[in-house]
Structure 1
């Protein structure tokens, strides 16, 4: 292992020297690449360019790169980004895991507002937003996270689909796409239309996806010939998504609204062969006033209302449990002009949710009692340029209350949270910078961590919460060294995160049947669920440390391009061994060639064996090599650009198991797949 890492380091350093020489010999190409318009991070308080801000490490996935990586879930779409893996619960439900942290520690946003689903409750619950309709997807950590929630200890992901237009345009423009995938006989189509009439901007988007159960290279359970082979049972997905929006746009700003619906029907690839019917209706109002008062740049406000529900059903279609989450969220932010050199944003945010998990037949609480949660927060993020040093500071104060239904006879909990972050970016030479960041963030335990008491079929666990759990406090330090200009660009990150009172699911040693749990049996548990393993929500101090690095050559220009990357992290509980479900160390290379209308790419990702297990984990995930390729051709047709594309995924047909998945032993990732499609832009 040490020899392998040493060879990798030597190769990266050698490549850096060679590529730097090439860059100096092609300064004209550098200027051309640098002239391309920068990507703006919409979730940044100051709409900064990610190459120059210290709200990083930041990744913005957009354009053809986003379309090539779009999968059937948000986790699948982002799984190969630096420092990001996925929970991998089949094709329908996979959530991003950032630096070994997932669930409620990774906040998922849509246009800067919470998706308000229940995906953080359990890995079998899908994220209620669609990557196929996104203009870009942003991964943020650091001070920016404080604008959106103290609980985003791991980071946040913002899916931007621009359903509420912010600018007028002439005529009608849009994009359409259709694709077919061989691994699951998957078919999908998406459409996006934008236009305006007078001062009114309009937006329409939709997506339809239908996939069968996907092919797997071997058996579902490794070395078990009795388990499923050929295809993974109950790994199908059927999804329909539709959104419309409009806004009044004038010289002073804009005011708009949107409504969207999502229907998702997908299988849970466990022995029970259950499936989930999901429905969400979302209403949003957003506006911005430019220069509302003297000394202020803009006032922005958002109001979101979400009605979410999903029903977990057995193989025969019998409804078992109905999850519901009704949420109302508001945000008001005011960006001020430079004051004593400081430029920033301050504001307030509120959130009120009513969550329930009810037995379908009894209409009584199942696993988690009905719980009302409310929060109110005030935040401030400031930035100042001290010549070669750019400084940023953020503060968020938040009050969170959990109120279980009185019939549950459980204590109400209230948490006062204080989170802040400070950092700097030293631009010690043109295009080069070094940045340390210190963040202290607090998170309130979720309702399921506090109040769970019941079986969860999808994870085969009997979850037992602890109403006395304390708030988590994370102390994170990060160092970033980067080069952000020229043909050769690179970045390296080192981080260490100490979390006091880290909440984790401690698995019991013996399997239990739910009918042995007294009160739980008096609710809606008259159907046979079989054997369950007790999972106790517990707390202990934890440390997560790791590193990420990437180096690229000519990613923005035509001709040959290359990118090398690597990431690793390790989480440990103090005096109690490793954190569960930690990602494998990975490294790889992206190769590309672009000339005229043609684009091609090849990605080789090597994940190492993950045998750093928690005390209650029993199996390591083997190493694997994932090879993907892409080829596209773009042609002009009248006023339209057509892009024909082919994507090959897992070319080596590897049996891939994700160390971050609770189903790593029984749910491999899809085998070799060929995706063919056409995309139009007009």
Structure 2
């Protein structure tokens, strides 16, 4: 089955308009296509907005126990690293609700954006591809996506009929945590009905670490890091009716995830989610229009934060209904694009399980947005522009109701100044409403050991972004370089104070107060990547580097800023064999926020992979070996709240086999 249509390319077009220029020269390449209702192109065509699409063998080599772990080595992406079970992507120094998580183009509707100890409720092990958009390219999907977005595509709702049943299955074992993982998916059809099913099971013990949990403290944990075990199960089914006019389909998914938090308190999180989606596409619905796509998704999410005795301390709940419609029109006076509408209705709460103060009260939120995106050619230059208006209302029980009117817009230009080379620029303006926790928090959070205090008078964030890009897109040797700067008015951040309170907010307790405040801030950085023969047979190579700086304009660094990195890799592919070696060096990070006390040292991370594929009848069977952190380095992530007490896993070998049929 072809990669499912996603809505991601619409976001690319909104920010800058990314055309699909044909590649020429070099070894034959298989394009990973990001398709959508507004524009269709390959990953390597995403010039103005550096989109990354992980799929195929590359994705299988990088799959980890969390989405952050899977994506942490991508250009401009780091991870929150809150243990093995909860690690969320951080894009260009932005985290939390500024980075939106999607599944098949719809919000995951979990609570991972509220705190780093909350896992993303989407399973990468059954994904066909994972798409990353950075910076303004993601604005079409909501004002909260100032930093970017990640979309997990599992094709649960089929969009094409397959001639015969097909699928894949995989089993793997990891040495660092005695981890076992089974996953698989199958697609089929009966008449004009397309069918899909997928499932995943993962069970890991506490993972091994190279030294002590606390640097220089021989009395702290060693050998294995306590409370880093995970147990995750998910199952999904979907079906659709497919005809010449388009398709209509539905899917259902259940996820259950129990994982430890390696904090001093040793808490655990018991996460459950039920998700139901509808998707339909009608070709040529009206004269002058190419397609109409309508989607709806309902999510029922819960998780309990458990203490050391397994008793619930805080109960999180989020019920969400999202709808989306996109109408793509044929060229009108040289313009080609899409108009659309999106709504979201959520009920969220984070309530005390033992009668203490609620972390966040019951809050009903609604949003409605309209957007338009258009592209046109002016000679050799491709132009694009997009606008989005969104109205957001937050209605808490027992607190102040707030309403926000949000406007976003962008304009981009791309100039292929010579064959195979392009230069682009994009400017954008975006606004973000404060999240529910930033407005209304008022209770303890055990996993972070903070007593969070929201501010119901916070104003909306306003972000101004400019990005410049230069890229070579043809030949065996290809490269790209990006510069970006983001100025944010009313940047919302949690300032952790030295005031200690108990779970009721009274003095002299174990929790540090965290106050949500606002100030002007800016983030700027650069990324560069050079690749040789990335998909062809024979030798291949890659060199990359990324850096970002986040500061408050009045002075001081933003918290949890990523370290500067450089890396290089070599690979070889010939017939049934494929292998490679990658070395990433992260520099020490001492650009600390006021609430941060210790810098993170630099480290070298050496990873490798080797696989052999054999043909058994009509099926492919691939045996693979992955090696992670071969140097057994003590790796501390500057983007982790637990960097002082929880290093990443030590040397790890992953043995596995997968089949396609």
Name 2:17's counterpart in structure 1: none
Given candidates 374, 389, 402, the residue that maps to 2:394 is 402
Name 1:636's counterpart in structure 2: 615
Deviations 1:441-477 (A, max 9, x none): 1000001000111111100111111110000000000
Name 1:417's counterpart in structure 2: 406
Name 1:139's counterpart in structure 2: 132
Name 1:151's counterpart in structure 2: 144
CA contact (8 A) 1:43 1:144 kept: no
CA contact (8 A) 1:143 1:420 kept: no
Could you list the runs of 4 or more consecutive aligned residues of structure 1 that deviate by over 2 angstroms after TM superposition?
29-34, 42-45, 47-55, 141-144, 509-518
Name 1:225's counterpart in structure 2: 218
Counterpart secondary structure, 1:578: coil
CA contact (8 A) 2:201 2:234 kept: yes
Counterpart secondary structure, 1:611: coil
Name 1:492's counterpart in structure 2: 481
Deviations 1:415-460 (A, max 9, x none): 0000011111110011100000101110000010001111111001
The 5-angstrom pairing of residues 292-311 of structure 1 reads: 292-311=285-304
Distance, in Å, in 2 between the alignment partners of 1:296 and 1:52 is: 25
Name 1:536's counterpart in structure 2: 515
Distance, in Å, in 2 between the alignment partners of 1:345 and 1:595 is: 43
Name 2:648's counterpart in structure 1: 669
Name 2:367's counterpart in structure 1: 375
Deviations 1:349-369 (A, max 9, x none): 00000001122244x762111
Name 2:27's counterpart in structure 1: 33
Distance, in Å, in 1 between the alignment partners of 2:136 and 2:336 is: 14
Distance, in Å, in 1 between the alignment partners of 2:448 and 2:148 is: 25
CA contact (8 A) 1:146 1:394 kept: no
Cα offset, 1:321, TM superposition: 1.2
Name 1:11's counterpart in structure 2: none
Distance, in Å, in 2 between the alignment partners of 1:472 and 1:269 is: 33
Whether 2:629 is the aligned partner of 1:650: answer yes
CA contact (8 A) 1:146 1:395 kept: no
Deviations 1:224-259 (A, max 9, x none): 111101111000000001000000000000000000
CA contact (8 A) 2:26 2:475 kept: no
Whether 2:544 is the aligned partner of 1:557: answer no
Distance, in Å, in 2 between the alignment partners of 1:42 and 1:665 is: 42
Distance, in Å, in 2 between the alignment partners of 1:490 and 1:595 is: 24
Given candidates 377, 382, 386, the residue that maps to 1:390 is 382
Name 1:466's counterpart in structure 2: 455
CA contact (8 A) 1:164 1:257 kept: yes
CA contact (8 A) 2:48 2:424 kept: no
CA contact (8 A) 2:136 2:147 kept: no
Whether 2:602 is the aligned partner of 1:623: answer yes
Name 2:273's counterpart in structure 1: 280
Name 1:5's counterpart in structure 2: none
Given candidates 594, 597, 604, the residue that maps to 2:583 is 604
CA contact (8 A) 2:91 2:134 kept: no
Distance, in Å, in 1 between the alignment partners of 2:346 and 2:481 is: 39
Alignment gaps of 5+ in structure 1: 1-28, 519-528
Counterpart secondary structure, 1:510: strand
Whether 2:503 is the aligned partner of 1:511: answer no
Distance 1:292 1:233, change over 3 A: same
Cα offset, 1:530, TM superposition: 5.2
The 5-angstrom pairing of residues 175-574 of structure 1 reads: 175-362=168-355, 366-405=358-397, 408=398, 410-517=399-506, 531-574=510-553
Cα offset, 1:315, TM superposition: 1.4
Name 1:26's counterpart in structure 2: none
Distance, in Å, in 2 between the alignment partners of 1:387 and 1:40 is: 26
Q: CA-atom RMSD, angstroms?
A: 1.4
Deviations 1:355-398 (A, max 9, x none): 01122244x76211110110000011111222321112111100
Alignment gaps of 5+ in structure 2: 1-22
Cα offset, 1:268, TM superposition: 0.7
The TM-score normalised by the length of structure 1 is: 0.92
Cα offset, 1:628, TM superposition: 0.1
Distance 1:617 1:144, change over 3 A: closer
Name 1:70's counterpart in structure 2: 63
Name 1:6's counterpart in structure 2: none
Cα offset, 1:144, TM superposition: 4.3
Deviations 1:504-563 (A, max 9, x none): 011112333234439xxxxxxxxxx95111110000000100000000100010100000
Distance 1:450 1:119, change over 3 A: same
CA contact (8 A) 1:234 1:268 kept: yes
Cα offset, 1:616, TM superposition: 2.3
Distance, in Å, in 2 between the alignment partners of 1:318 and 1:390 is: 58
Counterpart secondary structure, 2:447: helix
Cα offset, 1:45, TM superposition: 3.3
CA contact (8 A) 2:37 2:291 kept: no
Distance, in Å, in 2 between the alignment partners of 1:302 and 1:147 is: 15
Deviations 1:54-109 (A, max 9, x none): 56111001100001000000000000000000000000001000000010000000
Counterpart secondary structure, 1:227: coil
Cα offset, 1:37, TM superposition: 3.7
